[in-house]
Chain A
Amino acid sequence: MNPVFDIDCSRLHAEQQRLQAIYHPDRYVGASERDKRVSVQVASWVNQAYATLQDPVKRSRYLLEISGAEIPDDATTTSDTEFLMEQIELREQVESCRHDQDGLQRSDQIGTGLAHRADELARDFVSHFEAAEFVKAIESSRKMQFIQRIQQQLSELQFELEDL
């Protein structure tokens, strides 16, 4: 088995549902208590596997883990100052939408930009990972996580703006 980052998410989803159709506790309602417990456990593994693989950041970390790369605990920091500056700037851009009249519209543009940036970083990750440059791959994975967090902040802000 050769693990790769680029996967077909709709097929992943179909596979999750195929396995749940076999192992979900609903298939074991008449079973003994112990078998029910086992089924809950297997169904949990399936859900957990799906949750890990369908999220690009978690998937990248999982690939690193099974490849034996050691991921330091402080995965929330980066030493790349240029990237840090970019972070601060992106955050400021997101926040500035809050008090802007065209905030919603601008936030959409920022969202498109962030999606591009996430794709770019994912490509970086793939090339480092395939070249077995794990230290660099870990760095890319972290950056992906940063961007994902800003994307989350942006979508929360969009909800707030729509509420007004």
Chain B
Amino acid sequence: MALLQISEPGQATVPHAHRYSAGIDLGTTNSLVATVRSGEAVCLPDEEGRSLLPSVVNFSNAQPLVGYEAQALQTSDPLNSIASIKRLMGRARQDVIQLGDVVPYEFVTSEGSNVPRIRTLAGDLSAVEISAEILKTLVRRATQSHGGDLDGVVITVPAYFDDAQRQATRDAATLAGLNLFRLLNEPTAAAVAYGLDRDADGLIAVYDLGGGTFDISILRLNRGVFEVLATGGDSSLGGDDMDHALGEWIIQQGGFTDIDAKLARHILLAARKAKEKLTTAESAEILIDYRRQKWSGTIDRQQLEELIQVLIQKTLTACRRALRDAGISKNDIGQVVMVGGSTRVPLVQSMTGEFFAREPMCDLDPDKVVALGAAIQADILAGNKPDSDMLLLDVLPLSLGIETMGGLSEKIINRNTAIPVSRGQDFTTFKDGQTAMSIHVVQGERELVSDCRSLARFELRGFPPMTAGAARIRVTYQVDADGLMSVSAEETTSGVSADIVVKPSYGLTDTEIESMLRASMEHAREDVELRMLKEQQVEAKRVVEAINTALAQDGEVLLSKSEIAQIHEHRDRLEAAIETGSATELKQLIKAIEDASEFYVARRMNASVQEALAGKQINEVDI
């Protein structure tokens, strides 16, 4: 009951034990987990000291394999070793087909579900379930390293992720049993890792060149607040293309013919090794020894740079486009942050530096920087840094609209609107006795609904029957701080709320997630019940504590004697049940006290808002 503890930033609230939190970079190629320890963000390694976890999951056994072990099986068992699952998050079958040869898996669509599933030996699995396995592995790392459960996590997503993709990521967290504090945009996380939130206001370019993708984001920092101004990039451009360019050079130099898949792989590996060596060395030896085909040679850095220059030029073209989208010139950029393993290549750094006319920031490990930033944000959200006033305010990445007559999209909330945000819209009925209506919500900038991305159809039911045009139906669209939308509706003349059935166009329905959760819990039912009880006990104690604190502060000012007595009664009942009650009983009692004190919370909110508004700005802001 935190609103019973409204406090100005920096003002200490009730002290609490240090909470354990983590930041997770759920990447296309690799994933990482990081946490803040003694004030410093660190990535958590596996038992062999490796921080990176390849985002590959193998499903040939009852127990899925995640990471290097799964990656090793990719060649021998390609259909059960799922890689790059991030590309499929929140996507429908037709999107998957567009991805072409990127994903070789066998897809199945089942009745009553919009989500494409991949057929594996462990069953037909959605992208959400597969991502949840990666999350579980990372979380295990964190709990083992800490010797206790995580209180919550921050997971990063690309800035351009739409509602369906964000929702899918959130669902994966739910399925992995995680308390998700927040979804954080990857470029913002990178900027946080460099501590740019403490810097002067300005514009930041985040240049993210990974193995297979390139992303450029332009951020604006304004008094501790980050805003994404524009994003762009190329979803099929990365370090792998450099390996290919160098591989072709090797083939030419060595005069290789009859190149089968295995030799090609051999050459690519040699190319990558040489590329990595040239990051620090001036020249590198290349040795190809495959059956009867042998070749050895040397390449120096300048030769490599000639081969890859055109690729880097492409990234700069995308940068130029993003700058134009943001409506700024490259001279306005104050900082350039480098993210992704491929930014280790010296030519990438020098060409980017030349383009923006400033030294890019690359002190932190470019593979880890996103996870580190997420860990810092998670630590703050966990309440471990009460003095921190950093606040990451986001904007809606794509406009939300509803389908109107003629298949047009009417924008309800424009892109780049600060979130959270809510908008209301009034409708009326057009038939006598009409008790239901349907709203189709789409996301995107285009005029035609067919050019936008369908998010969901909301069916509003249960309005009182009235004559046509008499009902006033107020539909409220709410976008939360993660950029996820929900819809509520009320007939205002009668005050009747609608029952809402959501049919996500691409995502999993609540029922699907629930049944997945149940299935995953079957094995560990007792553990789960115990954990739920513990959680409810902690929650109950917190609620009692919050009520006591609030009553002591202003109970007598805001409440009548009988109201206080009523709240006391609920509190005592809850307090008595903490040690003896079941999880369900505690949950009900908590709900009861929350309901019974709802008016009190509202009064406190009003008093607090009044106070916040009264302080100064009536005179100063002159509104």
Contacts and interface: CB of A to CB of B under 8 A. Distances in A.
Pair from one complex? yes
Interface of A: 1-4, 6-8, 11-15, 17, 19-22, 24-32, 34-35, 38-44, 47-48, 50-51, 53, 155, 159, 162-163
Interface string B141-152: 000000000011
A26 B381 contact: yes
A15 B392 CA distance: 16
A57 to B, nearest CB: 14
B266 to A, nearest CB: 44
A10 B422 CA distance: 24
Contacts of A162: 324
A32 B391 contact: no
A48 B422 contact: yes
Describe A's contact surface by its main secondary structure. Answer: helix
B2 interface: yes
Interface in B573-623: 590, 594, 598, 601, 605, 608-609, 612, 617-618, 620-623
Contact of A30 (B224, B383, B420): B383
B622 A7 contact: yes
B605 A38 contact: yes
A12 to B, nearest CB: 6
A41 B420 CA distance: 8
B347 to A, nearest CB: 27
A51 to B, nearest CB: 7
Interface stretch (B3-11, B211-219, B432-440): B3-11
B393 A20 contact: yes
A51 B7 CA distance: 25
Contact of A24 (B4, B481, B623): B481
Contacts of A34: 594, 598, 601
Nearest to A31: B2
Contacts of A39: 2-3
Counting chain A CB atoms within 10 Å of each CB, the highest count among B422, B605, B623 belongs to: B623
B166 to A, nearest CB: 15
Contacts of B480: 25, 40
A21 B422 contact: no
A44 B382 contact: no
B461 interface: no
Contact of B478 (A8, A31, A40, A51): A40
Given A12-B621, A17-B393, 16 more contacts: A1-B623, A2-B622, A4-B623, A13-B222, A24-B393, A26-B481, A28-B2, A29-B182, A32-B590, A34-B601, A35-B4, A35-B601, A38-B605, A40-B478, A47-B421, A163-B324
A69 B3 CA distance: 36
Nearest to A9: B621
A7 B617 CA distance: 11
Interface string B357-384: 0000000000000000000000011110
A17 B562 CA distance: 39
A15 B621 contact: yes
A29 B181 contact: yes
Scoring A32, A51, A155 by chain B CB atoms within 10 A of each residue's CB, the highest score goes to: A32
B481 A25 contact: yes
A43 B3 CA distance: 13
28 contacts: A3-B623, A11-B617, A12-B623, A13-B222, A14-B223, A17-B223, A17-B224, A17-B391, A21-B8, A22-B7, A24-B391, A25-B481, A26-B380, A29-B182, A30-B2, A30-B152, A31-B3, A32-B543, A34-B594, A34-B601, A35-B4, A40-B478, A40-B480, A42-B605, A44-B422, A47-B419, A51-B417, A163-B324
Nearest to A32: B1
A38 B602 CA distance: 9
Interface residues on B, range: 35 or more
B499 interface: no
B225 interface: yes
Nearest to B380: A26
Interface of B: 1-4, 6-9, 19, 151-152, 181-182, 222-225, 324, 327, 380-383, 389, 391-393, 417-422, 478, 480-481, 539, 543, 590, 594, 598, 601, 605, 608-609, 612, 617-618, 620-623
Contacts of B8: 21-22
Contacts of A41: 420, 422, 478
Nearest to A40: B420
A20 B393 CA distance: 9
A2 B618 CA distance: 9
Given A7-B621, A17-B223, A17-B391, A22 B612 contact: yes
Contacts of B601: 34-35, 38
A47 to B, nearest CB: 5
A17 B222 CA distance: 10
Contacts of A13: 222
Contact of B617 (A15, A17, A22, A47): A15
A32 B2 contact: yes
Given A17-B223, A32-B543, A159-B324, A25 B420 contact: yes
Contacts of B181: 29
A162 B324 CA distance: 8
A47 B418 contact: yes
Contacts of B421: 44, 47-48
Contacts of A26: 182, 380-381, 391-392, 481
Given A17-B225, A163-B324, A44 B392 contact: no
A143 B382 CA distance: 49
B3 A28 contact: yes
Contacts of A155: 327
Contact of B618 (A1, A6, A7, A44): A1
Contacts of A2: 622
A136 B467 CA distance: 39
Nearest to A62: B623
Contacts of B222: 13, 17
Contacts of A21: 8-9, 389, 391
Contacts of B6: 22
A4 B594 CA distance: 41
Given A25-B480, A42-B605, A19 B612 contact: yes
Most A-side CB within 10 Å, residue of B9, B481, B609, B620: B481
Contacts of B4: 35
B621 A35 contact: no
Contacts of A38: 3, 601, 605
B582 to A, nearest CB: 19
Nearest to B16: A30
Contact of A43 (B225, B327, B420, B622): B420
Contacts of B381: 26, 29
